[in-house]
Structure 1
Amino acid sequence: MRLQTDRLVLRPAGWEDLDAMHAILADERATAYWSTPPHSDLEETKEWLGRMIAIPPGEGEDFIVEREGRLIGKAGLYSFPEVGFIFHPDSWGMGYAAEALIAVLRRAFDVHRLPRVEADVDPRNERSLRLLAQLGFFEVQRMERTWFVGGEWTDSVYLHLLPSFLDRATTRAA
């Protein structure tokens, strides 16, 4: 399954994506608020990519995001109904994450008929929180010490998105 937006192609992951995903997952800026520390070797990324490739249909749907044939990130629902995304810092601030997420979220609601989509965000990740709020996500809970990443406990902000909230958010943004 491929999704096309005005500027992006979202497609299933393949082994040919290993080096480009490693460049993202090894980047300290990209993984500053990720669920794991930066990947220290290619084998770690290979295991991660293998899990992404092996998501069973009906349990999740994750996409590689390309701009002009170049891999710039990933966005999807690795496990229904939880959304996740990560982009190379060179692509930040250009609206690509929002564009990719709108395509993913529309598919989640229109094709998979999910009643809601959820997100778990480190409260220090202001950029992601702002993006998700712009897309219509709303906060439902905060919890302390939910992830142990790189020897440090981090907290979580849990967010939900309902289909009608996405529709209102994207209508306002147009």
Structure 2
Amino acid sequence: MIRTERLLLRNARPSDLRPLHEIFSDPAAMRYWDRPAYKDISLTQKFLEWFMTPDPENREEYILDLDGTCIGKAGMWAKPEVGFIVHPNYWRLGFAFEAMQALTPRIWDRFPDLDILTAECDPRNTSSTALLHKLGFRLTRTEKQNFDYGGIEMCDTAYFELKRET
């Protein structure tokens, strides 16, 4: 667990199913995620089961808990890639930045072999790209029409990296 000014970053638990599903079934929240909004809670259940399964060699991820409520998740989900998602009710309040600012040093400490952290996002997601820049990530490249968003459209991908400070 990590405590920040406003959040508790904690491990996932079964009671996070409904709040996570509120996020994963919200078209606005999922607009720039890796797939469209979940229609069935069983997909969120599968995700939660995966999320709760420890993988200490590859992951350092946490639930963003605000006053006892899951409002999102953040961390390194697949070494060395980081990511975050927050319920739209909590957008533009600095929670993703607060979480990632606390998690980044934790990731560096836990994975001393890592020289960089990476992140990907749709370049139209200007809030996430701004957040990555604010965290010190730099854009390394953008690829055109390389991501199939649920068979709905082909999207561009912006690739970012953050080098370990020496």
* SS of structure 2 residue aligned to 1:110: helix
Q: How far off is 1:87 after superposition?
A: 0.2
| Aligned counterparts, 1:7-156, within 5 A | 7-113=6-112, 114-151=114-151, 152-156=153-157
Higher deviation after alignment, 108-117 or 11-20: 108-117
In 1, the alpha carbon distance for the partners of 2:66 and 2:164 equals 27
In 1, the alpha carbon distance for the partners of 2:164 and 2:3 equals 20
Q: Which amino acid aligns with 1:42?
A: I
In 1, the alpha carbon distance for the partners of 2:8 and 2:23 equals 18
Tell me if the contact between 1:8 and 1:68 (Cα under 8 Å) persists in the aligned partners: yes
Q: How far off is 1:24 after superposition?
A: 0.4
Q: Which amino acid aligns with 1:67?
A: L
Give unmatched runs, 5+ long, in structure 1. Answer: 166-174
Structure 1-normalised TM-score?
0.90
Deviations 1:7-53 (A, max 9, x none): 10001112111111000000111111000100101101111112212
- In structure 2, the partner of 1:162 is 163
Q: CA RMSD in A?
A: 1.3
In 1, the alpha carbon distance for the partners of 2:144 and 2:77 equals 23
Aligned length: 164
Deviations 1:115-144 (A, max 9, x none): 111001111100000010011000111112
* SS of structure 1 residue aligned to 2:165: helix
Q: Which amino acid aligns with 2:119?
A: A
* SS of structure 2 residue aligned to 1:127: helix
Deviations 1:82-105 (A, max 9, x none): 001100011111111100001111
User: Any runs of at least 4 consecutive aligned residues in structure 1 with deviations exceeding 6 A, and if so which?
Assistant: none
In 2, the alpha carbon distance for the partners of 1:146 and 1:102 equals 29
Q: Which amino acid aligns with 1:100?
A: A
